[in-house]
Structure 1
């Protein structure tokens, strides 16, 4: 079951049906994230609650590093469960475009959906070997062509629209997801920065406040990601996804979905 939680107010314009369907939401205004309480605070997060700064980041790293790992091939079937359209069990919701597409159309052809790495593989040479490049917490279904347009661009505000954008924008060196998933993207990026600290075979992943990071193990822009976390709090779709990843696949959680206020507490 989903954790019981005390959550901050979300603008009425983000009607529940629209959020669950992945539709583009109106532009939002950032407000400070209020503290949340979950059923996991006395168990899973027991050693993190009450901490801030580097102590909180370190504690969360230890907690979420205990996980089951999936192969790259296994992601296909997992995504059909984690990102299922709540209004059509035969479809998945595509992250950036917001479209609902048949689960059977997974592949590499035009009209298919494939596996989008929100933390781009090239930012730290993640590869598709079992590890950060197969971590389900930052991999989402997306239209093949939209995925290619995003490429390995960092995240920032601004840019122009494109085919099947769903409200997402892009320019030469950055990508802005549609309003309804801006917070989702921010929380996925910051999860990766806490989970992968360079104490295993992989790079130390960190957010920074620039774009065009290339192959460096950084993703930006942090100041914008923090704004997006405030503007677009976790919704029912994102919370369900976090729970499914925890219960069925990796046995670890994205702490910033459970506690979005921890973003500001760390960064």
Structure 2
């Protein structure tokens, strides 16, 4: 048995990676075997980073077995997450050994090794890794300068060549034909109450009828959400069949959900061309708020929910006395709460809710809505939303600690004060729901250097201005200054931020957001409640006595 083909680097996000192994005889049991991947990078120490148990599987009629991402076609027998297979210089080995022999960071070894391949994508040879695995050549997937669209393949004589990927196909010569089964949906997404049509096809017409069983359940989408149909039959002489499934409209707002069509079909003469495909089901029972989005704002439909005396200590103060009094209110260690960074996900689902659809969040910068369930959980951020720090962490000097990994809810919190700079990492007043790629595009740029996507409607600019100005009051060690400074703790550009505050005044979306965060953190952003006070701190009214009328 040997490594027959590997595609470690694919176009864009690595979602077509695979490893193919081949046995000398067909239908070979893989019990007792494992696949181990080794990290040959400078910080990988030629040690294992992933081990995959092959127990319970066997190769097919061509002696092939495929491990790969979900989008690889034909479908892999073992699915690994996207971007799991490193690009090199790295290695993959087949071992006849228990999985327990290779916890992560196990040094590469020839003990119980069946076959190994050391590979790269135009990287320097890892001589030590080759020596550890007993191989004398490192194969370059980028030999033809086309690494994103070619793979490393083993020839019949044991050498390797680089060519167009051929998963579940013999690399040279003719193998046994396996009739491919494919399915497709009639729509890109569905709403509750819709009828799903799933079309099944085979590459060649059937000599005998087959029945394919399937399941649609995935995460919160279960058997109560669709009609009780779990199979389809393609008749002898035919090459296609369809099935209709009703999505139940339960009149309960459960939020948007995803279904996943998974086929359960075992027949050595067939091969699944796709499987485990996810489709969105939008819940139609969402709530519409009585205030507008930031691009269609309203200004008088949301009340600021705080007591009459919340800001009473500010009256009659001016200059530094006014600033100190504000800081004491929003940083009061006896009242203010700090939550974990993981809790921020739930806070943003409430605070940044799309007024036009309660199952969505509204994204800063890109000025659009996105389903709450599309929160980024992997390295791929395309089509996902994540958490944007308006005052970038690298510029503020704050970051996660281990306790930030736990979302423990509104009733669990830390005490915090004006000197608790670390808590800026999870201060919801300074974090917004953001499109993943746009968050990356902003990076840690200062405002003024970053002005949002081309053609934006400026609807976020006042919001982020009041956000970072708040943070500079809330935490010692943070400051908003002129220009684009490199000093940790400073963010610019002050003049741009002040102009944005004027350009985009407080609206109902921002007021509702302030109310939600107040419920969690027990502090408010006074620049939202008292917009005029900005000028008494940073503007032309500095030094004048403040009275809230």
Give the TM-score range, shorter chain: 0.7 to 0.9
1:185 alignment partner in structure 2: 464
Residue in structure 2 matching 1:22, options 276, 286, 294: 294
Partner-residue secondary structure (3-state), 1:62: helix
Alignment gaps of 5+ in structure 1: 1-16, 26-37, 169-177, 198-203
Once residues 434 and 523 of structure 2 are traced to their aligned partners in structure 1, the CA distance between those partners, rounded to angstroms, is 23
Whether the 8 Å CA contact 2:466–2:528 is kept in 1: the answer is yes
1:64-103 aligned at under 5 Å gives the runs 64-66=330-332, 67-103=336-372
The 5-angstrom pairing of residues 196-207 of structure 1 reads 196-197=475-476, 204-207=477-480
Native 8 Å contact 1:196 1:205 kept in 2: yes
Q: Secondary structure at the match of 1:154?
A: coil
Unmatched tracts of structure 2, length 5 or more? 1-288, 298-303, 402-421, 539-549
For residues 517 and 341 of structure 2, the distance between their equivalents in structure 1, rounded to whole angstroms, comes to 15
CA distance in 2, matches of 1:238, 1:73: 22
Q: Distance in 1 between matches of 2:508 and 2:307?
A: 19
Classify 1:86/1:221 alpha carbon distance in 2 versus 1 (closer, same or farther; 3 Å).
Answer: same
Question: Residue in 2 aligned with 1:54?
Answer: 320
Q: Is the 8 A contact 2:305 2:515 kept in 1?
A: no
Please list the CA deviations of residues 228-252 of structure 1 after superposition, one character each: whole Å capped at 9, or x if unmatched.
11121100000000011112x1010
Aligned mate of 1:147, from 426, 439, 454? 439
Question: Paired residue for 2:92?
Answer: none
Separation of aligned partners in 1, 2:450 and 2:469: 21
| Contact 1:41–1:49 (Cα < 8 Å) also in 2 | no
Residue 181 (structure 1) shift: 1.5
**More relative contact order, 1 or 2 (CA 8 Å, 6+ apart):** 1
Contact 2:463–2:510 at 8 Å: present in 1 too?
Answer: yes
Per the TM alignment, residue 214 of structure 1 is displaced from its structure 2 partner at its CA by 3.5
Partner of 2:511: 239
Question: Normalised by the size of structure 2, how large is the TM-score?
Answer: 0.38
Q: What are the within-5 Å matches in structure 2 for residues 24-39 of structure 1?
A: none
More strand by share: 2
Q: In 2, distance between residues paired with 1:166 and 1:158?
A: 11
2:495 to 223, 230, 234: 223
Q: CA deviation at 1:166?
A: 6.8
Contact 1:120–1:152 under 8 Å retained in 2 = yes
Structure 2 match to 1:167: 455
Give the match for residue 241 of structure 2.
none
User: Are the aligned partners of 1:99 and 1:166 in contact in 2 as well (CA < 8 Å)?
Assistant: no
Shift in Å, 1:40? 4.7
Provide the secondary structure at the position in 1 that maps to 2:512: helix
Q: Distance in 2 between matches of 1:88 and 1:153?
A: 31
Cross-structure match for 2:522: 251
TM-score, normalized by length of structure 1? 0.75
Within 2, Cα distance between the matches of 1:60 and 1:87? 34
Residues 295 and 459, structure 2, Cα contact 8 Å, conserved in 1: yes
Distance apart, 1:62 and its partner CA: 0.7
Could you tell me how far apart the structure 1 residues matched to 2:317 and 2:429 are?
23
Question: Which is worse superposed, 150-159 or 67-76?
Answer: 150-159
d(CA) in 2 for partners of 1:128, 1:230: 33
Higher helix share: 1
Alpha carbons 1:75, 1:136 under 8 Å: kept: yes
Equivalent position of 1:138 in the other structure: 430
The range that moved more, 44-53 or 221-230, is: 44-53
Q: Secondary structure at the match of 1:115?
A: strand
Q: Counterparts in 2 of 1:107-146, with a 5 A limit?
A: 107=376, 108=378, 109=380, 110-129=382-401, 131-146=423-438
Show the 5 A alignment for 1:4-19.
Answer: none
1:262 is displaced (CA, Å) by 1.2
> Displacement of 1:113 after TM fit?
0.4
